[in-house]
Amino acid sequence: MKHIYQQGTNPSAPVLLLLHGTGGTERDLLPLAGLIDPSASVLSVRGNILENGMPRFFRRLAEGVFDEEDLVFRTQELNDFLDQAAQQYGFDRRNIVAVGYSNGANIAGSLLFHYKDALRGAILHHPMVPIRSVPLPDLSGVPVFIGAGRNDPICAPRETEELAQLLGGAGAQVTVHWEAYGHQLTQTEVQTAAAWYKQLFPQ
Ligand code: MLT
């Protein structure tokens, strides 16, 4: 997959896996990594799908209606890519924390839904429930930050609550942060996520 890898100065810090929103690229979330942990290595990936020229991580049939077959396929593709990148760059495959926004948060959520050890933790900015038909693996002890908007037209608050319940039911340690706004990523949400991260993964 097209990506950027930046070697960090702290080899024991988690590798930050950055996953952009629809129409974004692997450059979009690089500033977030600097805020979360400037000493961490960064693996920022571009989604393999193009929707009218806009990169995405999986196909959708309509706004908010996912192509589940493609979602499952693309989730496996990303998981396999993470195995390969860990070998290529020599980092610990079990020490990856995802940071995703919107479509990127949805594929990160799908990694959690499908694979037990895909991620050590995740920051999900404005995620949806990626799929409803799969039993979740044991996610005991996996910390997940969810940033959501009370007025998000793409992800209604009840879907955020459903996602938190599904992940929490599988054992994940879920923190939900609410903003009063819509689907956009706000500075306070980003800062709250960075503070959450620093508490859970002390540098
Ligand atoms: C999606 O994955 O389709 C998102 O939730 C919405 C978007 O990326 O625009």
Cα(158) to centroid(ligand 1), Å: 17
Choosing among 3.40.640.10, 1.10.10.10, 3.40.630.10, 3.40.50.1820, the CATH entry for 3-200 is: 3.40.50.1820
Exactly one of 3, 67, 177, 183 is catalytic; name it: 183
Q: Is 127 in the pocket of ligand 1 (CB under 6 A)?
A: no
Give the pLDDT of residue 126.
Answer: 98
Asked whether the beta carbons of 115 and 94 are under 8 A apart, the reply is no
Exactly one of 28, 102, 110, 126 is catalytic; name it: 102
Q: Is 192 in the pocket of ligand 1 (CB under 6 A)?
A: no
Residue ID of nearest Cα to ligand 1 atom 1: 103
pLDDT exceeds 90 at position 122: yes
Give residue-wise pLDDT tens across range 135-154: 999 999 999 999 999 999 99
Give the pLDDT of residue 203.
Answer: 78
pLDDT exceeds 90 at position 84: yes
pLDDT exceeds 90 at position 133: no
Instruction: Examine the residue annotation and report whether 152 is marked as an active-site residue of this protein.
Output: yes
pLDDT exceeds 90 at position 171: yes
Give residue-wise pLDDT tens across range 97-115: 999 999 999 999 999 999 9
Give Cα separations from 32 to 61, 77, 146 (angstroms). 30, 24, 15
Instruction: Examine the residue annotation and report whether 44 is marked as an active-site residue of this protein.
Output: no
Q: Is 93 in the pocket of ligand 1 (CB under 6 A)?
A: no
Give the pLDDT of residue 178.
Answer: 98
Could you tell which of 19, 71, 154 is best to mutate to test the pocket of ligand 1, judged by most ligand atoms within 8 Å of the CB?
154
- Read out DSSP for the chain? --EEEE--S-TTSPEEEEE--TT--TTTTHHHHHHH-TTS-EEEE--SEEETTEEESS-EEETTEE-HHHHHHHHHHHHHHHHHHHHHHT--TT-EEEEEETHHHHHHHHHHHH-TTS-SEEEEES-----SSSPPPP-TT-EEEEEEETT-SSS-HHHHHHHHHHHHHTT-EEEEEEESS-SSPPHHHHHHHHHHHHHHS--
Asked whether the beta carbons of 100 and 106 are under 8 A apart, the reply is yes
Instruction: Examine the residue annotation and report whether 140 is marked as an active-site residue of this protein.
Output: no
Cα(38) to centroid(ligand 1), Å: 28
Give residue-wise pLDDT tens across range 29-55: 999 999 999 999 999 999 999 999 999
The pTM assigned to this predicted structure is 0.97
Q: For 6-19, what is the mean pLDDT?
A: 97
Residues 39, 37: Cα–Cα separation, whole Å: 5
Nearest of 92, 110, 100, 94 to residue 145 by alpha carbon: 100
Q: Quickly tell me which residue has 């938190």 as its tokens.
A: 164
Could you tell which of 60, 70, 126 is best to mutate to test the pocket of ligand 1, judged by most ligand atoms within 8 Å of the CB?
60
Domain boundaries, the chain: 3-200
